Structure 1
């Protein structure tokens, strides 16, 4: 009789969106995938072998159905993605271009290029949803949040009581009170120096932070920890070389996924016992995944083009200093279109929604 091994569980709330990715090749169909920081991390963790449960407020509109279909295809659990009151799923347009030096770069569009209206934006889950979700946090390994709200912090507090690692990835500092509360709960705080150079003294007295990670783009990241209650100096983890830079979007999410896979599968007790060498190894693994992701368009484009065995081989090659990309099938299957909610009668006039890829 085969032995059944429980998979680590991760719950997360924050930005779960529909990404519409406009690539460099104008003849390539616009790609539509589940995205947003939380959405990407949930999909990546499921891809890496975890049970992932995003918490969101999808209302059944075309964007939310596209996100649900995509997440479901990667084994993500959708038990808590229709929390009431529901609302439009956020839509983010990512446009990839070449800079003056020929290097690929990207920008995000938050308005419909046809009608000019703002695309649906993020709305947090409410306190009304918390009671039904809290019992399911038992035996979870990680709780992830990238946007703050009273409900998100209530869920994080319950996850702490369940022995989970709470991971906070702020995209910016908004409400000072909620931000301070988040630092009082989060064991891992990860942020970009480009977005938030000062995360509010994550390692200050009274915070829960055990690992503070600051990403610095092409230079990699630096981190410090207090696994033994003493704050370490900053430790630099250089980025791996990228064989062929296509798009860096989402690489931070892959770094988070790789780190959590190696460091947080046993919850907080496992993180606290990993030691400095184990912590460094987990972040190096995360950096390898980040470098791999730079070879594809979109935050998770490689997942659709590379088999899982090839993925594992390519990650090993990157870690061994010989980054290569195996031959892959780049055929993109055209799927249903997703239009701007403000101009639903004219979907073909919205460039990013005219074509989407599965």
Structure 2
């Protein structure tokens, strides 16, 4: 089995964007996991999504989007008994966005994300055990099993949850993780409930103010990069993860233990540069759509416009 740069699973949806009205302005692959994986594929990383989608038009569109970006799609399972997920995103004039799982036009409930199951993990186990980075932003019993399998094989496990949820699963996930990215408003609920091992890099985001990187007792503050313009802040956090994972892959190591905090911060800052540039464009990957992957690569290197 060939080695894969990134294997990932988690929140992947059709992102339906409404800008100032109930008229759809764009539809594209979205969700944190979806954004991170497809962006890395566009940067010519070997990416293998492990997902559960419907055997419907939306599912086909999502698979085709991954395939066109260069991702390996054989581990995306499509079945008739589920509907592929859709998320409505409202883009406001300030660049702020809100989300809902209800169609603004019909008020009907939109199909929700469905996590992978144990047989999906079993089928993808060869690549899970041979990836450099395993990424997830959601949890289920099967996903935690995949995280533990990747960690046991020596892969870097990048965990970017939106909530704690099941405390037992969350504790197992954190124990397997190499990197945990969490927002500051949710950190209070994490403190004291889950043990953070000494080797874990913890990224605490503080919105437009910047973010903090911790490992054990070490701390570093990374202020935000100024955006050239703010049209849409959607995907900013995802771009930080894209830049950091890409930087980790450049080091060609399957472990973070050898990295100093200062070295790790350099990768975070590459992601922050990408996030700042992306704010000038509409959509979670507007920079890639409008300027292309080569320009995104130049931003990561610190030589953009």
Regarding TM over 0.5, the answer is yes
Aligned length: 303
Decide which of 118, 133, 152 is 1:127's aligned counterpart.
Answer: 118
Asked whether the 8 Å contact 2:227–2:280 carries over to 1, the reply is: yes
Rounded Cα–Cα distance in structure 2 between residues aligned with 1:204 and 1:118: 34
Q: CA RMSD in A?
A: 2.5
**Residue in 1 that maps onto 2:17:** 21
**Residue in 2 that maps onto 1:63:** 58
Distance verdict in 2 for CA 1:108–1:148, change over 3 Å: same
1:12 CA drift (Å): 0.9
Rounded Cα–Cα distance in structure 1 between residues aligned with 2:123 and 2:81: 15
Q: How does 1:26-65 map to 2 (within 5 A)?
A: 30-65=25-60
| Secondary structure in 1 matching 2:84 | coil
| Secondary structure in 2 matching 1:274 | coil
Asked whether the 8 Å contact 1:166–1:187 carries over to 2, the reply is: yes
Q: How does 1:148-227 map to 2 (within 5 A)?
A: 148-194=139-185, 196-198=186-188, 200-201=190-191, 207=197, 210-225=200-215
**Structure 1 gap ranges (5+):** 1-5, 226-230, 325-358
**Structure 2 gap ranges (5+):** none
Which one has a bigger Cα radius of gyration? 1
Decide which of 71, 95, 103 is 1:104's aligned counterpart.
Answer: 95
1:149 CA drift (Å): 0.5
Asked whether the 8 Å contact 1:248–1:294 carries over to 2, the reply is: yes
Q: How far does the alpha carbon of each residue in 1:40-64 deviate from its partner, in whole angstroms, 9 at most, with x for none? A: 1101111222111111111221211
Rounded Cα–Cα distance in structure 1 between residues aligned with 2:193 and 2:261: 17
Distance verdict in 2 for CA 1:109–1:55, change over 3 Å: same
**Residue in 2 that maps onto 1:293:** 278
Distance verdict in 2 for CA 1:31–1:208, change over 3 Å: farther
Decide which of 112, 119, 138 is 2:129's aligned counterpart.
Answer: 138
1:137 CA drift (Å): 2.0
Distance verdict in 2 for CA 1:313–1:304, change over 3 Å: same
1:198 CA drift (Å): 3.1
**Residue in 2 that maps onto 1:355:** none
| Secondary structure in 2 matching 1:133 | helix
